[in-house]
């Protein structure tokens, strides 16, 4: 189907874009989710404002022990930039799992987090990384934690007139091992379940661990029961299996034509174990 007609603006500055958005225009980034929705007439915005061409949103830089990633950085940029590959390998690995090369060349990190698809990949990594998401409107800027940003299916903390301008992740301490493991829906590449793990060792035991899970339910989450069952325990296969068994604790798993709720929950357990094992093998 062909989308309804709409006005298109490609402003030269972020201030100009925010002004148009304050007046009711809708942000357009890679268009990888929005344009298909418009063609299916699931969305019919009257005015699109192109953010993807704004140099002010297109960067990956290091500042004070953190990586600042502009909203218009594409999945390809995040996957391949030396800064992300070298200093936040979990995010680069996660970006490499998104869709196909065409999607990664156009889709952006800002568009993905704003869209908040329950099967999107980034949210698992951003939960595990305890990332911060910077939001801006014509009247100001605020920073929210990943945990507060993702609220439910296609629902975030974004207020009308606000856009995502930046994602901030930590520079990974050298001893941390990280891994993203995903059971994908083969036609689209979206996650049926995706698990991001960050693991530090404390001698022969697990030190601090962070686990983020996507795909299982309406929104991504931190698997704190798994984390608590690992930290301080011997870094053994027995510990990993016992801890991973808690991956879906208290979660109302989604059921669809790709996977029943019960199957999804069991995938969450097995992919959590895989992610922990893989991250542990990469930790020093």
Distance of alpha carbon 40 from alpha carbon 176, whole angstroms: 44
Q: Under the criterion CB under 6 A, does residue 107 sit at the interface with ligand FAD? A: yes
Closest CA to 242 of 218, 284, 206: 206
**108 vs 239 by CB, closer to ligand FAD:** 108
Taking contact as CB under 6 A, which single stretch among the options 111-119, 166-174, 224-232, 249-257 is the one that binds ligand FAD? 111-119
Q: How far is the CB of 205 from ligand FAD (least distance, A)?
A: 34
Taking contact as CB under 6 A, which single stretch among the options 96-104, 169-177, 255-263, 272-280 is the one that binds ligand FAD? 96-104
CA distances, 170 to each of 69, 83, 280 (Å): 11, 11, 19
Residues numbered 185 to 214 that lie near ligand FAD (CB under 6 A) are: 188-190
How many residues lie near ligand FAD (CB under 6 A)?
31
Q: How far is the CB of 143 from ligand FAD (least distance, A)?
A: 14
Q: How far is the CB of 54 from ligand FAD (least distance, A)?
A: 10
DSSP annotation string for 74-138: BHHHHHH-HHHHHH-HHHHHHHHTSS-HHHHHH-BHHHHHHHT-TT-SHHHHHHHHT-EEEEEET
Q: What mask, x for binding ligand FAD by CB under 6 A, covers residues 13 to 52?
A: -------------xxxxxxxxx-x--------------x-
Q: How far is the CB of 106 from ligand FAD (least distance, A)?
A: 6
At CA 259, angle to CA 256 and CA 264, rounded to 5? 115
User: Is the CB of residue 45 less than 8 Å from the CB of residue 153?
Assistant: no
**180 vs 206 by CB, closer to ligand FAD:** 180
Distance of alpha carbon 106 from alpha carbon 76, whole angstroms: 8
The count of other CB atoms within 10 Å of the CB of residue 161 is 17
Taking contact as CB under 6 A, which single stretch among the options 77-85, 100-108, 195-203, 225-233 is the one that binds ligand FAD? 100-108
Distance of alpha carbon 74 from alpha carbon 80, whole angstroms: 10
**58 vs 205 by CB, closer to ligand FAD:** 58
User: Is the CB of residue 133 less than 8 Å from the CB of residue 149?
Assistant: yes
Which stretches of the chain bind ligand FAD, using CB under 6 A? 26-34, 36, 51, 71, 98-99, 103, 107-108, 110-112, 114-115, 117, 120-121, 158, 163-164, 188-190
């Amino acid at each position: 189907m062909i989308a309804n007609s709409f006005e298109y603006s490609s402003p030269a500055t972020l201030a100009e874009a925010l002004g148009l958005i304050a007046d009711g225009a809708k942000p357009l980034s890679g268009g990888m989710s929005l344009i298909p929705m418009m063609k299916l007439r699931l969305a019919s915005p009257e005015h699109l404002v192109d953010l993807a061409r704004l140099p002010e949103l297109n960067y990956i830089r290091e500042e004070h022990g953190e990586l600042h990633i502009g909203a218009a950085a594409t999945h390809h940029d995040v996957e391949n930039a030396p800064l992300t590959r070298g200093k936040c390998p979990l995010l680069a690995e996660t970006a490499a799992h998104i869709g196909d090369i065409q999607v990664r060349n156009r889709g952006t990190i800002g568009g993905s987090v704003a869209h908040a698809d329950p099967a999107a990949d980034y949210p698992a990594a951003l939960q595990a990384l305890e990332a911060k998401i910077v939001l801006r409107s014509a009247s100001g800027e605020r920073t929210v934690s990943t945990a507060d940003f993702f609220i439910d299916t296609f629902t975030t903390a974004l207020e009308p007139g606000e856009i995502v301008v930046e994602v901030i992740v930590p520079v990974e301490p050298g001893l941390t091992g990280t891994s993203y493991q995903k059971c994908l829906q083969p036609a689209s590449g979206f996650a049926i379940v995706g698990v991001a793990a960050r693991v530090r060792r404390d001698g022969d035991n697990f030190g601090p661990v962070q686990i983020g899970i996507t795909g299982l339910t309406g929104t991504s989450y931190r698997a704190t029961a798994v984390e608590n069952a690992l930290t301080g325990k011997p870094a053994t296969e027995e510990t990993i299996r016992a801890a991973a068994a808690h991956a879906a604790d208290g979660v109302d798993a989604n059921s669809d034509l790709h996977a029943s709720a019960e199957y999804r929950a069991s995938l969450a357990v097995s992919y959590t174990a895989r992610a922990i094992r893989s991250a542990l093998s990469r930790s020093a």
